[in-house]
Amino acid sequence: MTQRRAEDPSALSPQARERAIAAMSDSTQPELDLLVVGGGIVGTGIALDAVTRGLSTGLVEQRDLASGTSSRSSKLVHGGLRYLEMMDFALVREALQERGLLLTRLAPHLVRPVSFLYPLTHRVWERPYIGAGLTLYDGMAMVGKHRMGLPHHRHLTRKGVSRIAPDFDPDALAGAIQYWDCQVDDARLVLTIARTAAAHGAQVATRVKVTGFLREGERVVGVRARDLEAPGSAELEIRAKVVVNAAGVWTDEIQDLLGGHGALHVQASKGIHLVVPRDRIRSEAGFIMRTEKSVLFVIPWGRHWIIGTTDTPWDLDKAHPAASRSDIDYLLGHVNSILREPLDHDDVEGVYAGLRPLLSGESEPTSRISREHTVAMPVPGLVLIAGGKLTTYRVMGRDAVDAAADSLSQLGLTVRPSITDRVPLLGATDYETRQNQRVLLARRSGLNIARIDHLLERYGGRIDDLLALVEARPELGEPVDGAADHLGAEIVYAVTHEGARHLDDVLTRRTRISIETFDRGVTAAPAVATLVADELGWDAARTAEEVDHYLRRVEAERQSQLMATDQEADEARVQVGDAV
C-alpha cells in the first residue's frame, strides 16, 4: 500500500473522507457555516467560493464526484455560439469572460484551446451571417478584463478547407470559417475544484445521501443523511447555518424533502455523445454543424473524436440515462452528411449520455431553453440553485454564496466578497515551470516525453506527486494492461488523492478508459481493480465483485444502445445500478 503524505490537505483519501464525515456530524463542534448538497461542477464551485471567503464549509454527494451531468458534457469551455442566435448576449459575454479566466489564470493545465470549422453549405447568405456572429463572439471575448487568449476567427475557401480537413466532402461545402474555443476534461475539472476547496479547509464526503432536512421552526438548520459506505448505511445529522442545494437534475427530489416548499422546477434534457478513433476523420480541427434542432460538435479529444450532442426531454431513470440506437443514428447521420467516407456503428468506441438540468415551466423544446441559472431561497436557511452551464460554474458558485450571505447576515455573520477569480485551481501553480522542465523530468523519471506531457495535462504542477509515486514504486511507471494511455501510478493516485472509492470511479471519471477503448475498459478492469484493491484493502472476493459489477454495467449500456426507443433503452440500462 502506498505511503500517503498526511500533510497534504488536498488529498481526498479514504482517511480524509472518514475525517470529513466525523467533523461534519460531530455534535460537540460548532455547526458549519454552509453545507453544499451535490458534488458536481456547481456544488464544488460553491464549496470553493464559500471556503475561500472564510466560511466553514462542507460538501456531501450521494454518489461520486461528477457522477452525473458534470462528467457527461461536450467537454467544452465556451461562450455558446447558438445563444447568440437566441439573442442571449449577456450569457455569451459572461461565459466568454469565464473562458478567458480559466484558460489564462485559474486552470491553464486543464483548459486548452481547440479550433473548429464552421462548414458553409449555402453560397450567398451564410458566410456574411455566420461571419458577423463570430465577429461579435470574438469581440465580446476581447472587451472584458480577462484576456481572450485565443486567435480570431478566419475565413476559408473550399481549397483551404480541404487542406485542413481532407475527409470533408468538397461537393457538400461552399467553404468554412475557422474559430477557436476551449475544451476541458469535465470530470477532472470538478475533481480539481473539490481538491482545491479541500486544500483551503472544506470538508468533502462522497457516498453520503441526504434523506431529510433538520428544521427549527421554518428555518433549515442542517440535514439528515446516510453514509452509504458504512455498514448498515449509518445515519448522520449534519448541522449548518445555511444549506445550499446544488443537486442538478435531482433538484426537485431534494425539494420534495421540504414537504412541498419547492421554488425551482428542473426539466432533464438528455444529451448523448459518441467517441470514435481520431484516424476515422482526417482533420486538423473540430467542426460544428447546424441541425434542425440545435448544433452538433465534432471535437478533437486526444487520439479520438467526441461527437455530440442530442437535446431531448428525459423523464426516466436520472442516475443512468441511456443512449438509444435512434440517438446514435441521429448523430452519425448528421456527421456523415459532410464526410467523404461515412461513419457507422462499428466505428464507435464509446457512448455516454448525460442530463442537463434546465429550468422548466416554459413551452419551448429543451434545445431552446436558456442555460442561465437561477438562485432561490424558498425557506430561511436553504438556498437552491439550478440551470447554468459548465463554463460559468464559478459565477454560479459566487451567486449561490451571495444568496447564502444574506441569510448568514441575519445570524450576525459578515461574509466577505468572492475571490475565486483570483484563486488558481490545484495544479495551476508551477504548471508553466514544469512544462519548461519536461525534458528534465523525463530524464530523471525514466518516462518518455509523451508520458510527461500526458501527466502535465492531467495534473499540472502536481505532476510531482505522480513522479514521486513512480520513484517509490517503479512498477507504477508501467502502462496499465488494456489501457496503455495510463500508468499504474494514475490508478493508485486516484484512490489516495482523488476520492475514488470503486472501480467504476476510476475507469469512468478519474480516467476515461470506459469510453476511450473499443472494449470500454473490459480488458483493463482486472488490472485496475488489483491496484485499487491494494489501496482500499479489498479481499479477492470484493475485488471480483467490483470487476463483475463493472462488466455487467458495460453490457447493460451496450444492450441499451441497441434499443430503438428511450423507454426500451432505459429498461435495458437500469438492470445494473450503482456499486452502492
Per-position pLDDT tens, the chain of length 580: 544 445 699 999 999 999 999 999 999 999 999 999 999 999 999 999 999 999 999 999 999 999 999 999 999 999 988 888 888 898 899 999 999 999 999 999 999 999 999 999 988 899 999 999 999 999 999 886 666 689 999 999 999 999 999 999 988 999 999 999 999 999 999 999 999 999 999 999 999 999 999 999 999 999 999 999 998 888 999 999 999 999 999 988 888 888 766 678 888 999 999 999 999 999 999 999 988 877 899 999 999 999 999 999 999 999 999 999 999 999 999 999 999 999 999 999 999 999 998 887 533 444 444 457 899 999 999 999 998 899 999 999 999 999 999 999 999 999 999 999 999 999 999 999 999 999 999 999 999 999 999 999 999 999 999 999 999 999 999 999 999 999 999 999 999 999 999 999 999 999 999 999 999 999 999 999 999 999 999 999 999 999 999 999 999 999 999 999 999 999 999 999 998 8
Cis peptide bond upstream of 309, omega within 30: yes
Q: Which residue in this structure is represented by grid cell 455516454? A: 352
Sequence letter at residue 494: A
The three-class DSSP label of residue 504 is helix
Q: Which helix (H) or strand (E) holds 18?
A: helix 14-25
Cα separation, 7 vs 263, in Å, equals 42
Sequence letter at residue 437: Q
Burial of 67 by CB count in 10 Å (0-12 exposed, 13-18 middle, 19+ buried)?
buried
Burial of 292 by CB count in 10 Å (0-12 exposed, 13-18 middle, 19+ buried)?
exposed
For 86, the grid coordinates are 437566441
Q: Which residue in this structure is represented by grid cell 475507469? A: 507
Sequence letter at residue 98: E
At how many degrees (to 10) do helices 449-459 and 438-445 cross? 110
Q: Are 189 and 108 in contact (CB under 8 A)?
A: no
Question: Any bridge partners for residue 208, and if so which?
Answer: 227
- Cβ neighbours of residue 161 closer than 8 Å, sequence gap 6 or more: 117, 119, 168, 170, 173, 175, 176
Quote the pLDDT of residue 147: 62
C-alpha pair distances (Å), 530 with each of 333, 544, 548: 41, 9, 13
For 159, the grid coordinates are 481549397
Quote the pLDDT of residue 367: 41
Q: Are 501 and 207 in contact (CB under 8 A)?
A: yes
- Cβ neighbours of residue 31 closer than 8 Å, sequence gap 6 or more: 221, 222, 239, 240, 241
Quote the pLDDT of residue 464: 98
**Size of the chain in residues:** 580
Question: Any bridge partners for residue 76, and if so which?
Answer: 183
Question: Any bridge partners for residue 155, and if so which?
Answer: 177
Burial of 568 by CB count in 10 Å (0-12 exposed, 13-18 middle, 19+ buried)?
middle
Q: Which residue in this structure is represented by grid cell 515551470? A: 433
Q: Are 114 and 299 in contact (CB under 8 A)?
A: yes
Sequence letter at residue 141: A
- Cβ neighbours of residue 495 closer than 8 Å, sequence gap 6 or more: 13, 14, 501, 506, 532, 535, 536
For 50, the grid coordinates are 464559500
Q: Are 498 and 506 in contact (CB under 8 A)?
A: no
